[in-house]
Amino acid sequence: MIKTEHLCLYPASREQMETMIASEQWDFEHCGIQDWLPKVNFRGYRDEDYEAVCAFLIELNQKDRTHINWNWARFEWMMEHPEFDKSLRSSIGLWWSDGKVVGAAIYDMYFGEAFCAALPEYEALYPEILDYACRELKDDSGLGIAVHDGNQAEIAAAKAAGFVREEQQETVMRLDLDNLVLSDLPDGFSLSELDPVQEAYDFQWLLWQGFDHGEDREEFERTDPVIPQNRRHLNKRLSLTALAPDGGKAAYCCVWFHKDTDYAYVEPVCTIPGYRGKGIAAALLSEALNRAKALGAKKAYVISDLPFYEKLGFEKTQHYSFYRKV
């Protein structure tokens, strides 16, 4: 484990960090680190780092499930979300050692909220990661982070950095897939796979209605430009829609699974208002989870505290509090 006293403070800005790294003036050796410690370098995110970030999040959650609220699938969903500000991507901070990411500061959609973490064996980096996020990922209201209520080291580091706990909270629910109960679609409805890229218009229009933006198609077309969202690891067999008797799409559910994990992640689930209360979303989700189970998933996670998931057997297992530094 890296000892905190061996770590040196980073320069005042990301630009200074990258300048020093480029000139080979910035690494742990030049800071007096002992030879047995792994070399750790910092640089901002580049497009070619996508898989490395996913690998980091997978490894992080293999070793420490207190970070399951931020996993590879949430990162992948966010990176192609219409609200995600791609122009800021180079501001994502990455700490590297032996060719892999060992720590990261990632903004959530846009500046003002961020995810900060390091692999357990690099936990001494966490205060530096927080410091970077406070400087580079804040907005006019400061920076907010979600910290697991049981992660005392991160809570202590956040408080030491001047973060104050807020009322905002986040809950993660879990389902043991051995306890999965399948349910059927109502009579007249059928299941179909939905490709968000090939059927981009239908996909976005379905989510527009399902997340209560209304049924005005002209407003949808005016305010939500149809842009195919090509998510690299999406398994199309886990992207499901329910077709109503008239052929229209009534609900959507997507489940994510990666062969290097033992869990499925649920994101998103929605039903058009006129079709709610019929058990359609529950049937879609149970089928998607059953398919993920067949691929090797042992459990499923969802960021929610809704009774809908409790009725399906999900239990509240992780709780996070938000801390903010102005």
Report whether pLDDT(270) > 60: yes
**DSSP letters for 230-276:** --TT--GGGEEEEE-TTS-EEEEEEEEE-TT-SEEEEEEEEE-GGGT
Q: What is the pLDDT of residue 27?
A: 46
Q: What is the pLDDT of residue 12?
A: 45
Neighbours of 201 (CB within 10 A): 11
Per the CB < 8 A criterion, the answer to whether 280 and 262 are in contact is no
The average confidence (pLDDT) of the chain is 91
Q: CA-CA distance, 158 to 155, in Å (whole number)?
A: 5
Per the CB < 8 A criterion, the answer to whether 325 and 164 are in contact is yes
Q: CA-CA distance, 311 to 24, in Å (whole number)?
A: 56
Instruction: Average the pLDDT over 157-178 and give the result.
Output: 97
pTM over 0.85: yes
Report whether pLDDT(22) > 90: no
Q: What is the pLDDT of residue 38?
A: 72
Q: CA-CA distance, 303 to 306, in Å (whole number)?
A: 9
